[in-house]
Amino acid sequence: MSDQQISEVTVGIPTRLDGPVLLVEYDERWPQLFAREAGRIKGALGARALRVEHVGSTSVLGLLAKPILDAVLEVADSSEERSYLPPLEREGYALRIREPAWHEHRLLTRRDPEVNLHVFSSGSSEVARMLLFRDHLRSHPADREGYAQAKRDLARRVWMFRQNYADAKTEIISEILSRAAAGSAGSSSR
């Protein structure tokens, strides 16, 4: 994503990183912190929260990560912000990214703990992709370690925006997803 594209989808002024990305070793508290956040989200939205899942590197036991929980929320229609945004704002979440051209994705952030909440419409292929990647890394140590090494190498570089670092991981993520999809297809044909 170019700097211009980042500016176009960001609500407010994009937060510059201008440095390397901080990665930390796996923290055993992350699942409990996620469970608390999932409860907060479900409590705020009730039945409108169709699915809340822990995704990203903090959801994979033993994988180093940015110390920011990633969660995915499925709602009926993520473009209908008024149906979910006000209750989440009351819980400390703030809308930071609005990407109508990419799966109607919305990104909300929260501090204490730091959370990136990715909001998609029910049935989004992106949610399935995120869960496939998470589940594959959980059960395939070689891919988990390969991904960790790629993250280490990329995190040392200086990035203008954190999104630039995320974009730089696209190749390794695509490779792993290809293996995950092939494995998934093989197991479903048995």
pLDDT above 70: residue 186:
no
pLDDT above 80: residue 188:
no
Q: Does any domain span residue 90?
A: yes
Q: Does any domain span residue 115?
A: yes
Q: Does any domain span residue 77?
A: yes
Number of domains in the chain: 1
Mark residue 176 as left, alpha or beta (left: phi above 0; alpha: psi -120 to 50; beta: remaining): alpha
For 91-110, how does the pLDDT look when each residue is reduced to its tens digit (9 = 90+)? 999 999 999 999 999 999 99
**Which ranges of 119-169 would DSSP assign to H, the alpha helix?**
125-139, 141-155, 162-168
d(CA 175, CA 187): 19
Helix (H) or strand (E) holding 99, with range, is: strand 94-99
Take residue 112 and report the two structure tokens written for it. Answer: 């204490």
Mean pLDDT across the stretch 66-84? 98
Q: Does any domain span residue 130?
A: yes
Its domain, for residue 94, covers 3-183
How far out from the chain centre does Cα 102 lie?
A: 14
pLDDT above 70: residue 190:
no
- For CA atoms 27, 28, 32, 38, the dihedral sign is positive
Mean pLDDT across the stretch 117-137? 98
Q: Does any domain span residue 188?
A: no
Q: Does any domain span residue 189?
A: no
For 38-62, how does the pLDDT look when each residue is reduced to its tens digit (9 = 90+)? 999 999 999 999 999 999 999 999 9
pLDDT above 80: residue 140:
yes
Binned at pLDDT 50, 70 and 90, residue 2 comes out as confident
Q: Does any domain span residue 27?
A: yes
Q: Which of 111, 115, 171 is nearest to 146 (CA)?
A: 171
Task: Give how far Cα 166 sits from Cα of 56, 162, 179, Å.
Answer: 11, 7, 20
Look at 3-7, 64-68, 178-182 and tell me which has the smallest mean pLDDT. Answer: 3-7
Average pLDDT value over all residues in the chain = 95
- The CATH number that applies at residue 168 is 3.30.460.10
pLDDT above 50: residue 133:
yes
Mean pLDDT across the stretch 111-120? 96
Mark residue 123 as left, alpha or beta (left: phi above 0; alpha: psi -120 to 50; beta: remaining): left
pLDDT above 90: residue 159:
yes
pLDDT above 90: residue 184:
no
Q: Does any domain span residue 190?
A: no
